[in-house]
Amino acid sequence: MYKVILADDNPIICQALESRIPWDELGLELSGVCHDGSDVLDLIKIHAPHIMITDIKMPILDGIALIEQLRSHGLPLQIIIISGYNDFIYLKKAIDYDVAGYLLKPIQDEELMNSLRKAIGHLKEQEIVSQISRSAHILELRESKRNASGLLSAIIRGAETCVQSGEALADLSFPSSYQWLLFQLPLQEDGGVSEVTIEDILEYENSLRHRHRLACHLLLPSDTLLAVISPYEHSASVSDLVSKLLGEDGIQTAHAASMPFRSLISMQQELMETIAGLYGQLYSSRFTSAPAGHAPFLTLKDQQMIGMHLSLHDYKGSLAYISEQLDQCLAAAPTPGQLDTFIKTVFKWYSDYEPAYYGMQEQMDAALLASLAFSSRADILNALAPTVEPASESGSKAMNVVQYIEKHLNQPLTLNMLGKIFHHNSIYLGQLIKKETGMPFNQLVNKLRVERAEEMLRRNPDVKLADLAYQLGFSDSKYFSKVFKKITGRPPSQSAESEM
């Protein structure tokens, strides 16, 4: 509904217009009336109207002077002038300022209605143009992000030269003395990759730039890595804020900051050193950014040994052998790529013998930096723990877990925690729950919590959302409302009202 204000020094004319115009039928709302031109600007600030109907002659500030001020401020109001003067000079001024109507007193209802319809038509056209412009801008930003992220992926793989990288990254228009902040986006507890889209990146970047007034560029070069280019002097605050923004969507991160770079030519080396530092934090080992030239850490003999254990379903023996080889790899100060190759190779071998590892193997193959899917050495070995049990026991196990979840919805729930309680690998437990319930672990927990919330709102529609969110284990009411609306299609407040 479009808002309208009236400005005329004659109260009788204002009252007549207010009563004679079918505002609702036209999709209009009369938001305010004033009788002095000097009050109109304040009225506009208060109501932010779309259409103004104004007399051309008013005390202190007449209609033409008022329109001049509005146009000079760039306010896109649709304006309809009512006048007692059939004067060419006034009419020419009105045309110059692109008014939607110039009506002579006494005002004819049909003429005013036509002018209002014309103003509404202009507003709708402006909305379409604005939407097209916004959509085009968003598409340009998306394409820019995809190109920059693809370039960053190529830099990490070493497929582009430093000079080419510098030329392409210069299109982002950031000054010198910037640095990388690299964020790990690990696999979710149900075995899936954390979902971060280009649209999410644009939203996070916009929030940092406008809400926190921090200039930065966010890139998503892979499913497991988020890169932030930020001014060196703001590195700590940007790091904290990006972590917080991602945390609001349930994405846990670990990060490492590089030294500032003033030359884009040297950026590739600095970026790889930063990745090596991040790997070192995760695996408590020393990593090098350049290949050391030694032989692969897994040989044909290793494949035969691991295959022998797996063919006999000796997962314990296979795990012990891999653990020993992994320790040797980490002790030799490998590059990030060498550890990635180790992990991808092991999951490929496992998937050859056990279908339960197909999903993980596909994700490891698709990951640019596979090691970032895990948060530690123990995490890697945990993902390779035995995942097979008789089908008759799996359904029972899943239902026991679901029943436990239903009884503890008010507590923090993670697959790692449930894995310890039920003595199972957390990734396998997630796969088991999805198989039996048809949905991933996080989705199941949210669904059960929202169902419980609906039940509690039926019993007590006056319950505070903050209290309800806390009782159901949500970190805050904003995130609770977001999840509730995503599942039910309406916010909690509407759900409470519908039950009254």
pLDDT in tens, 288-315: 887 666 667 898 899 999 988 888 878 8
Distance, in Å, from the CA atom of 308 to the CA atom of 326, rounded to the nearest integer, reads: 18
Bridging pattern class, strands 78-83 and 28-34: unpaired
- Specify the pLDDT at position 324: 94
Q: What is the pLDDT at residue 161?
A: 45
- pLDDT tens figures, 145-189: 888 888 788 877 774 444 344 444 544 555 567 788 888 777 766
User: Alpha-carbon distance 173 to 169, whole Å?
Assistant: 8
Find all residues with CB under 8 Å of 459, minimum gap 6, and list them. Answer: none
Instruction: Count Cβ atoms within 10 A of the Cβ of residue 52 and give its class: 0-12 exposed, 13-18 middle, 19 or more buried.
Output: buried
What local confidence, expressed as pLDDT, does residue 341 receive? 92
* Distance between CA atoms of residues 375 and 371, nearest Å: 8
Cβ–Cβ < 8 Å for 40, 13:
no
Task: Read off the pLDDT of residues 351-388 as tens digits, 9 standing for 90 and up.
Answer: 888 777 877 888 888 888 888 888 889 989 988 886 54
Length of the chain: 500
Query: Starting at the edge strand that comes first in sequence, how are the strands of the sheet with 101-104 ordered?
Result: 28-34, 2-7, 51-55, 78-83, 101-104
Element of type H or E holding 347? helix 336-353
pLDDT at 168: 46
- Please report which residue ranges of 354-425 form alpha helices under DSSP H: 358-366, 377-383, 391-407, 415-422
| pLDDT attached to residue 327 | 95
Sheet with 254-257, edge to edge strand ranges: 217-222, 225-231, 178-184, 254-257
Taking residues 69-73, report their average pLDDT: 75
pLDDT at 58: 72
Reported as a single tens digit per residue, the pLDDT across 80-116 is 888 777 666 666 776 777 788 888 878 888 888 898 9
Kindly state the tokens that stand for 386.
Answer: 């035995």
- Mean pLDDT over 26-50 rounds to 84
For residues 444 and 466, what is the distance between their CA atoms, to the nearest angstrom?
22
